[in-house]
Structure 1
């Protein structure tokens, strides 16, 4: 009798495959308080968040409220930050995309007004404001696609910090292991054809096993190309 494959073990929900989200620092969302009035604050710290690959900036506002925001490239401790409609069009400030001039790089954009920011949040990412028309703003995303947003959706001016993160190599396997474990990812990943026959359908010395599986295959055998009409390149 074979063993359960990794996807079956993962589905059980054991701590081995569960992300340590209780160690994450913040969700780095916009506050609902800043929709209309301008809130002024200052950057008091730039911290690392294990749950993301971009640094986060701690902003202390004049009402003594403290909130984390995704840091923009070039931001420094002591820099003044404004959040809300009517804010200055300056690096790191947050305001509706409808108030941001065309050609300006932005990040952490709301899909719906008030959702706190959903897209363009990874290190080094930015989108470009393309045009404004009739309460809608068209933005060019990092994928080169154009997407229309409600002009009241908020965004941060600038580029997400940490853009050169991938230039530095991990150097050794332990660094890569700690990086993946922080997000609940399995590392290292063993090739299925390198496994034993009891561990996976593709394992063992017999390499002639088809990569297709029936739609009604039992769990553990339902791997590869499931119910495929055809495989390989079209010729």
Structure 2
């Protein structure tokens, strides 16, 4: 009798694979978008607390605004407890300010960038990440993403001035398997994982035998117990124009 392979267990959604959402602090989003308020007022807030959220690579900043509202944001590098931040399209371009990308000069370093006004922030949110404002044109702004790809966003979209805190996090080695295990638990990863090829034949379609074993590509509609290895090959057969190997 065979054994349920990893993709089957993951799909079933047991406790190992379930997201531990009860450990989360709060969604890191900007205040609910009010175009009139954002364009005409500059709110002043203070960083009340910097907290750690399990499973997230960056800290979180809890900001209290002068009108009593609270916001949880992804802090830029250098933000401190008690520091004053500004929120508004006409806010000064200083560290931590939440501004309109269209009002920032070219070359400004920003993070947690919205694609459309009101989506709460979608781009450059991981530790040490930042985007660069390149140009403004016809209500759109060109920014360079951490991947160096250039993307166009709405000029009314919001962003935070500065690069995301906790840069260099990935440069520190784990050193111990236990640390990797607890990190994986916080992010709902399965750790450790074993290669199917290293298993016995009963445990995995690629298992068994002492010689290299290649699997034919699994179709896109294959059941979870079969859907392993190469999924839905893009093409098959000999490439056109490929030279024939001489025997």
Do they fold alike, i.e. is TM over 0.5?
Answer: yes
Q: 1:53 to 1:214 in 2, by over 3 A?
A: closer
The size of the alignment, in residue pairs, is 235
Alignment of 1:1-235 (within 5 A): 1-32=1-32, 33=34, 35-36=38-39, 37-215=41-219, 218-228=223-233, 229-230=235-236
**SS of equivalent residue, structure 2 residue 81:** coil
Post-superposition CA distance 1:188-225 (Å, at most 9, x none): 11111111211111112253533214537554123212
Question: Residues of 2 paired with 1:189 and 1:232: CA distance?
Answer: 34
CA contact (8 A) 1:212 1:223 kept: no
TM-score of the superposed pair, with normalisation by structure 2:
0.88
Q: 1:202 to 1:131 in 2, by over 3 A?
A: same
Question: Residues of 2 paired with 1:97 and 1:83: CA distance?
Answer: 12
Q: CA deviation at 1:231?
A: 8.5
Where structure 2 has 5 or more consecutive residues not aligned to the other structure, the ranges are none
Q: 1:184 to 1:227 in 2, by over 3 A?
A: closer
Question: Residues of 1 paired with 2:166 and 2:205: CA distance?
Answer: 41
Q: Which moved more, 1:77-86 or 1:59-68?
A: 59-68
Question: Residues of 2 paired with 1:214 and 1:55: CA distance?
Answer: 41
CA contact (8 A) 1:55 1:162 kept: yes
CA contact (8 A) 1:193 1:207 kept: no
How large is the RMSD of aligned CA atoms in angstroms? Answer: 2.1
TM-score of the superposed pair, with normalisation by structure 1:
0.92
CA contact (8 A) 1:35 1:114 kept: no
